[in-house]
């Protein structure tokens, strides 16, 4: 009997062990190809998204990460962050320009050259990587903005113009950068330089023939089949042979941080947050104790300033905007027209100058500038109108406000007594005699004593005039 029980316990233990090990073994043998999609302008949100995806790919031991791109370019700082993460990734990153009709222009070309294997779908194109300075010595990368040409550069260099000298420095820096990526991945460095200096572009088949990419694939399934068996070298000098034919493709969505950055780093959203913050604080200062405008304004202002810190802004434009707001605030409390007009001009010029990036997707909309300016100007006009009405209205405090006010006699002795008016008890004097409870009228005020008189009879009261 004991032998049977021991056998049953052993059998149950073996079955439980097998059941526990099977899911783990299946998970370990399951090869993953994680997909990351960059669709639109490259900015801080894109850099955060790629960084999170590569970290997750390393934790999950993915076979490859497919970086699917359809971008007109973007910010230089974000592009370099993405390239640094790709170069340091222990998981092979496959750059894939897709779907058909997509392009990887400007910053997208640099990133594609940094990936371990570059691929394109039919009907796509890359190139137009000419740099444009966006507020620093490094190149900003707009979508295919052409340079002034070699002839203009030579003429500028001969004249010694600083602008052309800076253009040459930025262009040479960009050329050296993309050539280093081409040499690292054994791709066509000469065409890469041409893409920078002359804004050259290539179709998918042209890029394959020029050895700017390794593969042309119609979809991800064909891409994984073509990748199978290829050898790549990842960070640390480690060589890997890819086995992607049976990989399970899984798309990685951006995390909440990346989504949050994508919203606030939109120049229009950052500008609106800045304005909401300023309006909120103005309302709080004008009506202390309201609380809500101050809280909303402070939070919006901090988020807006954080977003501006991530974007290439012109601090002269920001200063002009702040000066315009200060002048308009002064105009609200001390109307002069000239100060208000100067504030409007300063605010509009600052808004136009605020963002100095020529990269696609990082322009301030004319609609946002117009609507914000109209709201601000309307707010100032409302305040000015209120102040004018207050100035023309009769006085509500002091002797002028007391004259003619009704009062109730509380007590009276001879020519003096006390009356109740405006919610207060006052000392009063009069040549007439009154009874407690009688309604009188304030004729004047001397110091803190009211001079009262009998209220005139009104027609229609008591049946007779």
Residue 419 or residue 341, greater confidence: 419
Distinct helix (H) and strand (E) counts, the chain: 16, 18
Please state the rounded mean pLDDT for residues 224-239: 89
Predicted confidence (pLDDT) per residue in 136-149, tens digit? 333 333 434 444 44
Res. 152 pLDDT band, cuts 50 70 90: very low
Q: Where are the domains of the chain?
A: 1-27, 31-255, 265-392, 398-454
pLDDT for the residue numbered 385: 63
Predicted confidence (pLDDT) per residue in 90-118, tens digit? 999 999 999 999 999 989 999 999 999 99
Predicted confidence (pLDDT) per residue in 266-319, tens digit? 888 888 888 888 778 777 776 777 778 788 888 988 888 888 877 777 788 888
Query: Across the chain, what does the average pLDDT equal?
Result: 79
**Residue 327 CB burial class (10 angstroms; 0-12, 13-18, ≥19):** buried
Q: Is 151 helix (H, G, I), strand (E, B) or coil?
A: helix
Percent residues over pLDDT 90 in the chain: 31
Q: Is 451 helix (H, G, I), strand (E, B) or coil?
A: strand
Contacts 24+ apart (CB under 8 A), 193-198: 195/109, 195/126, 195/127, 195/128, 195/129, 195/130, 196/129, 196/130, 196/131, 196/171, 197/130, 197/147, 197/150, 197/171, 198/130, 198/147
* Nearest residue to 112 (alpha-carbon basis) of 127, 123, 91: 127
213 has a pLDDT exceeding 80: yes
Res. 360 pLDDT band, cuts 50 70 90: low
Q: 50-59, 354-363, 408-417: lowest mean pLDDT where?
A: 354-363
Please state the rounded mean pLDDT for residues 364-385: 74
Residue 27 or residue 186, greater confidence: 186
417, 434 contact by CB (below 8 A): yes
pLDDT for the residue numbered 83: 95
Q: For domain 398-454, give the CATH superfamily.
A: Nucleic acid-binding proteins (2.40.50.140)
pLDDT for the residue numbered 90: 92
Q: At what angle do helices 315-333 and 366-392 cross, to 10 degrees?
A: 20
Please state the rounded mean pLDDT for residues 10-17: 55
What's the topology of domain 31-255? Answer: 2-enoyl-CoA Hydratase; Chain A, domain 1 (3.90.226)
pTM assigned to the model: 0.66
Res. 216 pLDDT band, cuts 50 70 90: very high
Please state the rounded mean pLDDT for residues 169-182: 92
Predicted confidence (pLDDT) per residue in 409-452, tens digit? 898 888 889 999 878 888 888 888 888 888 888 888 887 888 88
């Amino acid at each position: 009997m004991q032998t049977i029980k021991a056998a049953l316990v052993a059998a149950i233990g073996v079955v439980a062990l097998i059941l526990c090990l099977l899911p783990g073994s299946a998970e370990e043998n399951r090869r993953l190809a994680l997909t990351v999609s960059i669709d639109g302008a490259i900015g801080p949100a894109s850099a955060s998204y790629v960084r999170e995806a590569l970290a997750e790919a390393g934790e999950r031991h993915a076979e490859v990460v497919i970086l699917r791109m359809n971008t007109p370019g973007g910010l230089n700082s974000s592009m370099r962050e993405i390239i640094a993460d790709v170069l340091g990734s222990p998981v092979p990153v496959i750059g894939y320009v897709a779907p058909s009709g997509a392009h990887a222009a400007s910053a997208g070309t640099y990133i594609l050259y940094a990936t371990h294997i570059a691929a394109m779908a039919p009907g796509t194109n890359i190139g137009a990587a000419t740099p444009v300075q966006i507020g620093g010595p490094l190149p900003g990368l707009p979508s295919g903005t052409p340079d002034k040409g070699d002839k203009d550069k030579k003429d500028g260099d001969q004249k010694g113009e600083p602008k052309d000298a800076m253009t040459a420095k930025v262009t040479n820096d960009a050329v050296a950068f993309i050539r280093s990526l081409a040499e690292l991945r054994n791709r066509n460095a000469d065409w890469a330089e041409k893409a920078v200096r002359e804004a050259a572009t290539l179709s998918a088949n042209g890029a394959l023939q020029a050895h700017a990419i390794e593969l042309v694939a119609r979809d991800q399934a064909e891409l994984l089949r073509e990748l199978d068996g290829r050898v790549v070298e990842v960070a640390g000098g480690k060589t890997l042979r890819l086995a992607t034919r049976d990989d399970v493709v899984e798309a990685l969505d951006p995390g909440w941080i990346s989504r949050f950055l994508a919203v606030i780093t939109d120049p229009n959203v950052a500008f609106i947050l800045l304005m909401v913050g300023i309006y909120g604080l103005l309302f709080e200062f004008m009506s202390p104790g309201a609380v809500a405008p101050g809280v909303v304004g402070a939070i919006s202002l901090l988020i807006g300033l954080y977003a501006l810190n991530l974007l290439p802004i012109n601090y002269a434009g920001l200063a002009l905007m702040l000066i315009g707001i200060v002048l308009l605030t002064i105009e609200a409390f001390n109307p002069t027209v000239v100060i208000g007009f100067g504030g409007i001009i300063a605010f509009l010029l600052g808004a136009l100058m605020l963002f100095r990036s020529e990269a696609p997707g990082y322009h301030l909309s004319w609609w946002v500038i117009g609507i914000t300016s109209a709201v601000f100007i309307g707010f100032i006009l409302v305040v000015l109108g209120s102040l004018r009405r207050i100035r023309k209205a009769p006085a509500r405090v002091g002797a002028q406000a007391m004259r003619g006010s009704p009062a109730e006699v509380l007590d009276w002795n001879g020519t003096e007594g006390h009356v109740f008016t405006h919610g207060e008890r006052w000392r009063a004097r009069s040549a007439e005699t009154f009874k407690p409870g009688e309604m009188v009228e304030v004729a004047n005020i001397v110091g803190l004593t009211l001079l009262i008189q009998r209220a005139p009879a009104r027609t229609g009261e008591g049946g007779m005039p």
